[in-house]
């Protein structure tokens, strides 16, 4: 999604989530999306962040909807290219 929107990605440092190593595929996208508020890590049953992302887990419809809406708010609707004439 970030690549499709031509969003510059952060250099992955491996500090945001303990299960996302900087050398993993798409680590830069995961770190950037988390920094922008598009994704969150997993939470325990009490709603407390676990500092895990679980990058191999599938995403559900609600998670995808949140990413799309947040991406539109951040990168499209407020950009000059998206404004009506």
Confidence of residue 84 (pLDDT cuts 50, 70, 90): low
Residue 62 is given by DSSP the state H
In this predicted structure, the answer to whether residue 85 has a pLDDT above a threshold of 70 is: no
In this predicted structure, the answer to whether residue 68 has a pLDDT above a threshold of 70 is: yes
The pTM of the whole model exceeds 0.85:
no
Percent of the chain with pLDDT over 90: 65
Average pLDDT for the chain: 88
Residue 51 is given by DSSP the state S
Tell me the CA distances in angstroms from 30 to 21, 45, 54, 78, 81, one per residue in order: 10, 23, 11, 23, 25
Give the pair of three-digit tokens for residue 77.
């609707």
For residues 16 and 30, what is the distance between their CA atoms, to the nearest angstrom? 9
Give the pair of three-digit tokens for residue 11.
């250099």
For residues 85 and 69, what is the distance between their CA atoms, to the nearest angstrom? 22
In this predicted structure, the answer to whether residue 73 has a pLDDT above a threshold of 60 is: yes
């Amino acid at each position: 999604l970030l690549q499709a929107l031509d969003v510059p990605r952060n250099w992955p440092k491996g500090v945001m989530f303990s299960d996302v190593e900087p050398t993993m595929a798409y680590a830069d996208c995961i770190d950037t999306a988390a920094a922008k508020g598009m994704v969150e890590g997993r939470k325990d049953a009490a709603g407390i962040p676990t500092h895990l992302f679980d990058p191999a887990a599938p995403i559900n419809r609600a998670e995808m909807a949140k990413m799309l809406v947040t991406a539109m708010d951040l990168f499209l609707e407020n950009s000059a290219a998206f404004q009506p004439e």
